[in-house]
Amino acid sequence: MFSNYYYSFAILLVVSTIQVQTENVTITIPLNKTTDLLNKELYGEYVNLNASSTLQVGFTDVSKSLAFIIFQVHSHLYNITLYNNTLTRSSSVYGTNIGIYSAVQSTLDKFFIYNQNMVNLKLFISIHGYGDKDPIPGGCNMEFQPPISPSMHMSYNNDYVLIEAASARDSADLACTSINDVIVVFYLMYLPERSFDSDTYFEGIQNMMSLDNISENGEIIPQTSWRMRRMLSAYPGTGAIYVAVAYNALNHSAYSVYVPTYTYACSPLDESGCELLDDVLSQFLCASLLFFGLFICYFGHRFFKTEMFLIGSITGVVITYILISLISELDRPALLGAAILSGLCFGAIWLLFWWFYGIPVFTVLLSTLNLGFLFAALLYFGMPGGLSALQTDFNFWTLFILIMSLTSLILLSMTFLSNILCCAILGAYATVYPIDYYIGSNLKYIIINTIRRAVVPKFNNAVLLPPFEWMDVIMTVTWLGLAISGFLFQHYQNRGRPPFPPPPRSVRPSMPDITYGTTGQRGYANVTHRPTSAHESYNENTPLLL
Ligand SMILES: *[C@@H]1O[C@H](CO)[C@@H](O)[C@H](O)[C@H]1NC(C)=O
Ligand SMILES: *[C@@H]1O[C@H](CO)[C@@H](O)[C@H](O)[C@H]1NC(C)=O
Ligand SMILES: *[C@@H]1O[C@H](CO)[C@@H](O)[C@H](O)[C@H]1NC(C)=O
Ligand SMILES: *[C@@H]1O[C@H](CO)[C@@H](O)[C@H](O)[C@H]1NC(C)=O
Ligand SMILES: *[C@@H]1O[C@H](CO)[C@@H](O)[C@H](O)[C@H]1NC(C)=O
Ligand SMILES: *[C@@H]1O[C@H](CO)[C@@H](O)[C@H](O)[C@H]1NC(C)=O
Ligand SMILES: *[C@@H]1O[C@H](CO)[C@@H](O)[C@H](O)[C@H]1NC(C)=O
Ligand SMILES: *[C@@H]1O[C@H](CO)[C@@H](O)[C@H](O)[C@H]1NC(C)=O
Tell me the DSSP string of 63-92. -TT-SEEEEEEEESSS-EEEEESS--TTTE
* C-beta separation of 100 from 146 below 8 A: yes
In a domain? residue 49? yes
Residue nearest to atom 14 of ligand 5 (CA): 109
* 14, 20, 24, best to mutate for ligand 1 pocket (most atoms within 8 Å of CB): 24
Instruction: In whole angstroms, give the CA distance from residue 213 to residue 260.
Output: 12
- Assess whether 374 and 301 both reside in one domain: yes
Q: How far apart, in Å, do the first and last CA atoms of the chain sit?
A: 121
In a domain? residue 451? yes
In a domain? residue 182? yes
pLDDT in tens, 72-91: 999 999 999 998 877 776 77
* Atom of ligand 4 lying closest to residue 94 CA: 5
User: 539 or 439: whose pLDDT is higher?
Assistant: 439
pLDDT at 536: 44
In a domain? residue 527? no
- Assess whether 196 and 344 both reside in one domain: no
* 22, 81, 84, best to mutate for ligand 1 pocket (most atoms within 8 Å of CB): 22
Residue nearest to atom 4 of ligand 2 (CA): 50
In a domain? residue 252? yes
Q: Is the CB of 33 under 6 A from ligand 3?
A: yes
In a domain? residue 340? yes
Q: State the average pLDDT over residues 350-358.
A: 83
- Assess whether 117 and 167 both reside in one domain: yes
* C-beta separation of 375 from 407 below 8 A: yes
pLDDT in tens, 447-483: 999 999 998 999 999 999 999 999 999 999 999 999 9
Report how many domains make up the chain: 2
Instruction: In whole angstroms, give the CA distance from residue 241 to residue 107.
Output: 33
pLDDT band at 186 (very low <50, low <70, confident <90, very high): very high
Flag whether pLDDT at 532 surpasses 50: no
In one-letter notation, the amino acid at residue 209 is M
Last-in-domain residue among 493, 511, 537: 493
pLDDT band at 135 (very low <50, low <70, confident <90, very high): very high
In a domain? residue 542? no
Instruction: In whole angstroms, give the CA distance from residue 242 to residue 348.
Output: 48
Q: Which DSSP symbol is given to 153? A: E
Rg (CA), the chain: 32
Alpha helices in 173-303 (DSSP H): 198-206, 211-217, 280-299
- Assess whether 226 and 349 both reside in one domain: no
Last-in-domain residue among 238, 263, 288: 263
Q: Is the CB of 39 under 6 A from ligand 1?
A: no
Instruction: In whole angstroms, give the CA distance from residue 538 to residue 535.
Output: 9
| Ligand 7 center from residue 170 Cα (angstroms) | 12
Last-in-domain residue among 461, 476, 493: 493
| Ligand 6 center from residue 207 Cα (angstroms) | 7
pLDDT at 515: 42
Ligand having the closest approach to the CA of 521: 8
- Assess whether 140 and 249 both reside in one domain: yes
Domain holding 475, by residue range, is 280-493
CATH number (domain holding residue 239) = 2.60.40.10
Buried b (16+ CB within 10 A) or exposed e, 241-279: bbbbbbbbeeeeebbbbbbbbbbbbbeeeeeeebebbee
- Assess whether 143 and 175 both reside in one domain: yes
- Assess whether 89 and 215 both reside in one domain: yes
- Assess whether 188 and 313 both reside in one domain: no
Residue nearest to atom 12 of ligand 2 (CA): 23
Helix (H) or strand (E) holding 365: helix 360-382
Flag whether pLDDT at 541 surpasses 90: no
- Assess whether 139 and 248 both reside in one domain: yes
pLDDT at 534: 43
- Assess whether 407 and 292 both reside in one domain: yes
| Ligand 7 center from residue 208 Cα (angstroms) | 23
pLDDT at 332: 78
Helix (H) or strand (E) holding 323: helix 304-327
Q: Is the CB of 78 under 6 A from ligand 4?
A: yes
Residue nearest to atom 6 of ligand 5 (CA): 91
- Assess whether 191 and 233 both reside in one domain: yes
- Assess whether 251 and 308 both reside in one domain: no
* Atom of ligand 2 lying closest to residue 23 CA: 14
In a domain? residue 504? no
